[in-house]
Amino acid sequence: MLSLKNLSIKADEKLIVSNFDLEVKPGEIHCIMGPNGSGKSTLVNALMGHPKYEITAEECLFDGESLTELEAFDRARKGLFLAQQYPKEIPGVNFLNFLTAAYNGVRAELEDFKPLKAFKMKKLVTPLLEELGIKADFLNRYINHGFSGGEKKKAEILQLKLLDPKLALLDETDSGLDVDALKIVGEGVNSFVDDKKAVIVVTHYQRILEYIKPDFVHVIKDGKKVLSGGPELAAKLEKEGFNWL
């Protein structure tokens, strides 16, 4: 699904990630860990198409197609999704209208697709609200405006479930969550993954991995992948930190 070979990322001429290799297959959950400033968030934001970042790579393919040739909205339509570490507040934009526009936007090029109206979106999204423990009036609020940290992250998972991408990039989705919210978010991610979808989880800590079980753990330090392993590697990092690498 995703193939990265010798991938490097620059921002303002500064090299942040270098010579990064990764292969992700359908059905897999990959976790990327590392200390602050190691390049984890840069990696997933660049893959999603953030204009701040410049990618060079021997290979950067998503479903066999070069990601570097696609704008961010095209990457979304191809099935790539990013849950942000710090979701933006957008006062004045109704959350239900936003979900409707996003849903219609990623499906716009599908054959015989008919855009949904907001009232039909409300019916579609109501079961997801219940699954994530979100109150119905959530839809009438402005995007992330006045949301708690947990509400913002639940809103990201709600979008993930609704848009149903092929590959989800989760950037520090566990940050700022209490135990109950963390469990709900973890269960939301687990119910998303199947044999046709995959997830890349970016995190500092092992605690979200108590709810989301990765198949592979990769460690980035100073912009380079220094180690890969199984779930036991995350437990070792939680216990011993990153200084031994």
What's the CA gap between 224 and 227, in Å, rounded?
A: 9
Joined together, the tokens standing for residue 94 give 């109704």
69 falls in which pLDDT band (50, 70, 90)?
confident
Task: Report, as an integer, the average pLDDT of 42-65.
Answer: 95
pLDDT at 162 over 80: yes
Q: ∠ CA 96-179-239 to the nearest 5 degrees? A: 130
Percent of the chain with pLDDT over 90: 63
Percent of the chain with pLDDT over 70: 99
Of residues 175 and 44, more confidence is placed in 44
3-state secondary structure at position 214: coil
For 33-74, give the secondary structure using H, E and C: ECCCCCCHHHHHHHHHCCCCCEEECCEEEECCEEHHHCCHHH
Joined together, the tokens standing for residue 131 give 């699954």
pLDDT value for 190: 86
pLDDT value for 141: 93
Structure-token match 């990153």, residue found = 242
Task: Report, as an integer, the average pLDDT of 1-21.
Answer: 95
- pLDDT tens digits along 100-112: 999 999 998 888 8
Structural domains of the chain, with CATH: 2-240 (3.40.50.300)
Which residues are CB-neighbours of 244 under 8 A, at least 6 positions away? none
